[in-house]
Amino acid sequence: MDYQRILDEITREAAALSGVGRVASYIPELAKAPPDRFGMALITLDGQVFTTGDASERFSIQSISKVFLLTLAIRQIGEQLFERVGREPSGNPFNSLVQLEYERGIPRNPFINAGALVVTDVLLAQFSNARQEVLEFARHLSACPDLEYDAAVAGSEQASGFTNAALANYLKSHGNLRHRVETVLEVYFHACSLAMSCVELARAFLFLANHGVLPAMGERLLTVSQTKRLNAILLTCGFYDEAGEFAFRVGLPGKSGVGGGIAAVMPGRWAATVWSPEINCYGNSVRGMKALELLTTLTGESIF
């Protein structure tokens, strides 16, 4: 498969959608992202790296970090996690308070904000320094010891994250948060602020395409069954209330973030990531979705 030629073609075609979405601004620091950027990386299980555009520039991975949080939590407490968070698509905005209220403080899934706050709370119980543990885990997965949290983004979210604070307080009132609201939010905001490039992110997602094993080191991170389940949650819940649209158009497990990144995996073959900061009203990158749709169409590779 000539992945390089395909990525080059995708870059040309996706350019037509430049200017269609809007850079996220509800977190003030994110509004500074350059709207015109477009990068893509595809890494195969045997280590071949294909890139196009701004694939080496770091961006705020935002909700994509929820995949790292969830992986860590599953490694620590396994299925027990699902006593406190569901695994059904939400069909609601990622920060919905309404759903949490009528479901009595049990978030629908680990990829909406309320769910990720519960997962963060689990990590706080498991690790003496959960914030550092998450960072070290991302560094390990991507083989990039110099990954860092973006303090400006974390601070900006801390200062403006009233909805997340409301979600955390509501979880707490239902007894589904064991630690202090401020402590949980602090770790969550930092995880969202992690800055990574498309290449680094694709490498970090490879274990999900490889039945739970980091291909470069042969290290098992999740069991085959846990990996299958995590990929199933990515497919059904990875794109908020646009998960159906992503499955329909792209046909891969994946996760998006409001920074304009998307990471997706083709089990048994590769991981691919794309970054383009202009997002649609659901919080998903406009050019990113188009690029991955073209990738599965032009390669004929998808899970279906």
Please give the residue ranges that form the binding site for ligand GLU (CB under 6 A). Answer: 62-63, 94-95, 113, 157, 164, 192, 257-258, 283
In the complex, the smallest distance separating the C-beta of residue 127 from ligand GLU, rounded to whole angstroms, is 21
Give the start-end residues of each E strand in the chain: 22-23, 39-44, 49-53, 59-60, 148-149, 194-196, 213-214, 219-220, 254-256, 261-266, 270-275, 278-279
In the complex, the smallest distance separating the C-beta of residue 121 from ligand GLU, rounded to whole angstroms, is 15
In the complex, the smallest distance separating the C-beta of residue 158 from ligand GLU, rounded to whole angstroms, is 10
- The CA distance from 128 to 179, in Å, is 13
Closer residue to ligand GLU in complex, CB, 45/122: 122
Closer residue to ligand GLU in complex, CB, 26/49: 26
Closer residue to ligand GLU in complex, CB, 45/192: 192
Residue 195 buriedness (CB in 10 A; 0-12 / 13-18 / 19+): middle
In the complex, the smallest distance separating the C-beta of residue 252 from ligand GLU, rounded to whole angstroms, is 18
Which residues pair with residue 275 across a beta bridge? 39, 261
**Residue 204 · residue 138 · CB < 8 Å:** yes
- The CA distance from 172 to 107, in Å, is 12
Closer residue to ligand GLU in complex, CB, 52/62: 62
- The CA distance from 122 to 31, in Å, is 31
In the complex, the smallest distance separating the C-beta of residue 100 from ligand GLU, rounded to whole angstroms, is 14
Side chain identity at residue 114, one-letter code: A
In the complex, the smallest distance separating the C-beta of residue 184 from ligand GLU, rounded to whole angstroms, is 12
Closer residue to ligand GLU in complex, CB, 73/213: 73
Tallying the residues shown for the chain, one arrives at 304
Closer residue to ligand GLU in complex, CB, 109/164: 164
- The CA distance from 121 to 176, in Å, is 9
- The CA distance from 104 to 18, in Å, is 41
In the complex, the smallest distance separating the C-beta of residue 117 from ligand GLU, rounded to whole angstroms, is 9
Closer residue to ligand GLU in complex, CB, 63/120: 63
